[in-house]
């Protein structure tokens, strides 16, 4: 009987460190999984934050064609919007700024079309658009490019009108550059209604 108790004690003593280590590993994996799970769409540096009064959606849509239920807004996971880190209001208001910084190679354009599921299209059917326009400090990376239709109620030409209005307000000092970047990247249709009136 004494021998049995001794063996049982030794077995428990030997198993205790293994159980402890396994528990620590499981808890550590769970903690790291929560820490590293994405909470918002990734953007290129610097990030463009959504306006404070609206929360960022937690689940971004997967790769899918542009022409879905909301064709006038970009896929937020593919195109969250990104800006040149060094761009300032004074710089973007210099005549010719957009022309000097524009640089989207053919390969990059083709890749953006592919990511939006558009392999064939007619001339003037879409515009490869900078979500945050160059004239507001937007950059040329894929995270700031999307395929925008020329047709439909909320089309590329209306967004161009909004871009010009926001640029004018930034340059006359009535609108901070960062606010203009945030509003047009979060929901350009809502920004259009705010600054130019609804349709």
pLDDT in tens, 123-173: 888 999 999 999 999 999 999 999 998 888 899 999 999 999 999 999 999
Burial class for 95, CB neighbours closer than 10 Å (0-12, 13-18, 19+): exposed
pLDDT in tens, 113-122: 999 998 888 8
Per-domain residue ranges of the chain: 1-37, 89-196
Q: What is the pLDDT of residue 172?
A: 97
* Residue 22 in this model has a pLDDT that exceeds 80: no
Q: What is the pLDDT of residue 67?
A: 42
| Whole-number Cα distances in Å, 153 to 50, 63, 113 | 24, 24, 21
Choice between 55 and 194, residue whose per-residue pLDDT is larger:
194
pLDDT in tens, 53-85: 333 322 233 334 444 445 689 999 999 999 999
Residue 151 near residue 125 (C-beta atoms within 8 A):
yes
* Residue 9 in this model has a pLDDT that exceeds 90: no
Q: What is the pLDDT of residue 147?
A: 93
Residue 128 near residue 134 (C-beta atoms within 8 A):
no
Q: What is the mean pLDDT of the chain?
A: 77
CA 197 to CA 189: how far, in whole Å?
10
């Amino acid at each position: 009987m004494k021998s049995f108790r001794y063996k049982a004690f030794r077995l428990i003593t030997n198993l205790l460190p293994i159980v402890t280590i396994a528990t620590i590993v499981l808890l550590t994996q769970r903690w790291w999984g929560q820490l590293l799970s994405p909470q918002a769409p990734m953007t290129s540096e610097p990030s463009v934050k959504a306006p404070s009064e609206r929360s960022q959606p937690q689940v971004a849509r997967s790769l899918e064609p542009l022409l879905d239920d909301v064709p006038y807004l970009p896929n937020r996971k593919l195109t969250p919007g990104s800006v040149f880190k060094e761009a300032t209001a004074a710089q973007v208001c210099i005549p010719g700024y957009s022309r000097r910084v524009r640089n989207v190679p053919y390969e990059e354009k083709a890749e953006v079309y592919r990511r939006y599921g558009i392999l064939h299209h007619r001339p003037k059917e879409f515009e490869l658009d900078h979500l945050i326009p160059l004239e507001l400090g937007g950059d040329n990376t894929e995270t700031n490019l999307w395929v925008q239709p020329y047709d439909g109620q909320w089309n590329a030409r209306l967004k161009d009108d909004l871009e010009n209005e926001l640029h004018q307000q930034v340059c006359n000092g009535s609108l901070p550059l960062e606010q203009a970047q945030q509003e047009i990247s979060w929901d350009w249709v809502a920004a259009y209604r705010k600054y130019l009136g609804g349709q």
